[in-house]
Amino acid sequence: MSNETKGLRHAREVEGHLDWLDSFTSAALGVLAVASGIYTYLGVRGLLDDGGALALFAAVAYSAAVSTGIFVFWSYLMRLLPAMRTAASRLWLALSMVIGSAAIIAMSSWLNAAALAGSAAVEQHLAKTVQDYQNSLERTHEVTLQAQALGLDVGRTRQGFEDLSEQEAGGGLSGLAGRGAVFRVLTQKSDELAALEELIAGQDAPVAAAFAEGNAILSRMRALTVAQGPVENRGVEFSEESVRLAGVITELRQLSVAPLVDRAARDLAQSVVLPRLDAGNAGGQAAQQATITSLLEVLAQRAETLQAAAAEVRALEPSADVVYTPISTADAVIRYANNFVPSWAGAIAIDLLPAVLVLIVAVAQAAVRAGREPATPEDAMTVAELRAAVLALRDVEAAEIRGPLTAELSERSLPKASRPEAAE
């Protein structure tokens, strides 16, 4: 058996398969187009806020247009692309297929993905927002606690002035025992610092209460992300809780005592009420003045230390401002596409699966042409075609034989008077 004969047999076999497959290909394309249209309808309905008849009609019209476009587009390509024989024509149709596929993804696939994973994507958005709020709350609480730790610095400074006042009461600083001018300056500053320390300690309870309230709100928000029911209704409650949590975070920021300590440190050295020197003689008064001058220098140093500590706290990076923004299912699917790769793959595959069928048909048609083109037309004829050709040839031969006989019989049947010879 020659290679040409084998090629012809292979081509006829592939043609038979293609004829059988072509019997239901259009129906399969229709099913895929309708399925894509259904998911497109669900995606469009999720985007339309209006639930009236007009919105319903618009969603149905859009999905019907998508189904029709997909069916017609792939039908054209499945018929035309495999039939192209030149490289240029195949290239242009392939380019058309790429452009059409991109258009189908733009008008249908992302809506299909929204229908498949829209609710889960919105829940993902809620969960991410909860995480952002938690980070903001914890960071704000951490900065506020750092400010509360300034109470220890204030307490050490106060204790230092109290110790100096005790020394002065025994005459250890100015050399004059008793509660004179130097003692009163020390007592004045230690009392100011004691009041500041008490104020800072009083902030512990509000800070703890605000942090506990914030965590309670976060717990309710986490529950809303996984609760049963439509995600739209849960989103409304989530938004209300996010407003409360934002208020708690703002309150925590306001409870920070770092600005208060900074201002108190500035006043520590600048606002000193100098008492009257009460020593009995000029030498005692000079000793008191020298001691007070030294104390003012110490106050300035302690004030700088407290200012530096407060500045470190105020320089800490604050928590990021978090604002919850409601999001539609389609936008959520696009924003969190990396988390829903299977849904995106299914949404795109249902629209672009016919591209694989187009390529299969193109390969099969190329195989058919490769099997037929080397053979002559006579070799390419099937038995049925040969039988039909033989019958047609017999009909032609019979017609050629019947023609002269019919003419002769017609001439014999004419009367002698009407014959051409008689007329002459």
Give pLDDT, residue 177: 55
Give pLDDT, residue 230: 81
187, two tokens: 């007592």
Mean pLDDT of 364-392: 67
Mean pLDDT of 184-194: 75
- 103-to-107, 172, 187 alpha-carbon distances in Å: 6, 91, 82
Q: What angle do the packed helices 258-270 and 150-169 form, to 10 degrees?
A: 30
Mean pLDDT of 198-225: 90
Contact criterion met (CB below 8 Å) for 237 and 224: yes
CA 292 to chain centre: 67
Give pLDDT, residue 139: 92
- Characterise 178 by phi-psi region: left (phi > 0), alpha (psi -120 to 50), beta (else): left
404, two tokens: 């002269």
Please, which pLDDT band fits residue 422 given cuts at 50, 70 and 90? very low
Q: Would you say residue 263 has pLDDT above 90?
A: no
Q: Would you say residue 212 has pLDDT above 90?
A: yes
Please, which pLDDT band fits residue 311 given cuts at 50, 70 and 90? confident
Q: Would you say residue 420 has pLDDT above 70?
A: no
Give pLDDT, residue 170: 58
The pTM of this model reads 0.68
201, two tokens: 């300690």
Quote the CA–CA distance of 291 and 153 in Å, as a whole number: 24
Give pLDDT, residue 423: 42
Residue located via tokens 């109470």: 151
Quote the CA–CA distance of 137 and 215 in Å, as a whole number: 8
Q: Any idea what DSSP says for residue 170?
A: T
End-to-end CA distance of the chain: 69
Q: Which of 183-187, 244-248, 326-330 has the highest mean pLDDT?
A: 244-248
Give pLDDT, residue 346: 86
Main-chain dihedrals φ then ψ at residue 48, nearest 5 degrees? -85, 125
Q: What is the pLDDT of residues 106-137, one digit of tens each?
A: 888 888 888 888 888 888 899 999 999 999 99
Query: Is 367 or 7 the better-scoring residue by pLDDT?
Result: 367
Q: What is the pLDDT of residues 129-182, one digit of tens each?
A: 999 999 999 999 999 988 888 888 888 877 777 777 676 665 555 555 555 566
Mean pLDDT of 6-13: 66
Give CA torsion, residues 336, 337, 343, 346, to 10 deg: 160
User: Which residues, in sequence order, are CB contacts of 48 under 8 Å at separation 6+?
Assistant: 55, 58, 59
Q: Would you say residue 405 has pLDDT above 70?
A: no
Q: Would you say residue 38 has pLDDT above 70?
A: yes
Q: Any idea what DSSP says for residue 229?
A: S
Give pLDDT, residue 371: 67
Quote the CA–CA distance of 140 and 327 in Å, as a whole number: 26
Residue type, 156: R
Mean pLDDT of 352-358: 89
Quote the CA–CA distance of 249 and 221 in Å, as a whole number: 15
Contact criterion met (CB below 8 Å) for 303 and 191: no
Please, which pLDDT band fits residue 418 given cuts at 50, 70 and 90? very low
Closest CA to 257 of 265, 268, 245, 269: 265
Closest CA to 358 of 78, 90, 86: 78
Give pLDDT, residue 171: 59
Quote the CA–CA distance of 109 and 115 in Å, as a whole number: 10
Please, which pLDDT band fits residue 71 given cuts at 50, 70 and 90? very high
Quote the CA–CA distance of 83 and 85 in Å, as a whole number: 6
Quote the CA–CA distance of 307 and 310 in Å, as a whole number: 5
User: Could you tell me how many residues make up the chain?
Assistant: 424
CA 232 to chain centre: 18
Quote the CA–CA distance of 329 and 316 in Å, as a whole number: 38
Main-chain dihedrals φ then ψ at residue 388, nearest 5 degrees? -65, -35
